[in-house]
Amino acid sequence: MTATTFDRRTQAFVVLVVLALILLLTLNSSQWHSGLRAGRTSVDVDVAAAEPLLLEGSSRSTLRPGAVRPLDLSMTNPNDRIVVLTDLIVTVSVIDAPHATPTRPCTLADFHATPSRLDGLVLGPRAATTLRAAGIDQDRWPTVSMTNTDHNQDGCRSASLTLSLQAIGYFA
């Protein structure tokens, strides 16, 4: 494989995803509850004849200040070629906080997301899997958390988060 072929393949296989996953935070009996609604997005791959990779995710676990929640994402490869994913990068991009006020704000600083290093998750042609089904340890999944701060975070009750995901990988 020549350097030019490798560079071309590397560029062609970097998969960017913007996934709008909605994370609902609800306060009930002083408990923070959240649900990550199932979302679906496509990944535009800059390769002729390649179809978009699809990602979905959900979480039924509780999210409250100081809690960290893993995101078990599913990945679907509609292509006739093997895709190898190396990283999933998660960021909290937008917060819609209907209870936020100037004295009880809810900002990006109240939340944190961490990426996942997949070390070559192989997704076969026309195949789908989840991080769990692929045998990826839960401690290596991307996560979202609510930072435990010293200010009142009641403004984050019933907040919706939009998470942006970037999947990085290549065709094998």
Average pLDDT over residues 104-127: 94
What mean pLDDT, rounded, does the chain reach?
75
Percentage of the residues of the chain whose pLDDT score is greater than 70? 69
**Residue 127 clears pLDDT 70, i.e. is over it:** yes
Query: pTM of the prediction?
Result: 0.69
pLDDT at residue 114, as a whole number: 95
Q: Per-residue pLDDT averaged across 134-142, rounded?
A: 95
> 3-class SS at 45?
coil
Cβ-based burial of 118 (10 A; exposed 0-12, middle 13-18, buried ≥19): buried
pLDDT tier, 12 (very low <50, low <70, confident <90, very high otherwise) = very low
How many CA atoms, within 13 angstroms, populate the side-chain half-sphere of residue 164?
8
Question: Is the CA virtual torsion 129, 133, 137, 139 positive or negative?
Answer: positive
CA distance 94 to 21: 10
pLDDT at res. 61: 67
**Residue 5: pLDDT over 90:** no
So what's the pLDDT on residue 51? 82
Contact 85, 75 (CB under 8 A): yes
Domain chopping of the chain, boundaries: 3-171
Kind of pairing between the strands at 72-77 and 127-130: antiparallel
Q: State the pLDDT at residue 132.
A: 95
Mean pLDDT of 128-149: 95
The rounded distance, in Å, linking the Cα atoms of 91 and 93 is 6
Q: What angle do CA 81, 86, 87 make, to 5 degrees?
A: 125
C-alpha Rg value of the chain to the nearest Å: 18
Span 38-91, pLDDT tens digits: 334 444 444 445 787 888 776 666 678 999 999 999 899 999 999 999 999 888
Report residue 94 CA to chain centroid gap. 13
Q: Are 71 and 139 in contact (CB under 8 A)?
A: no
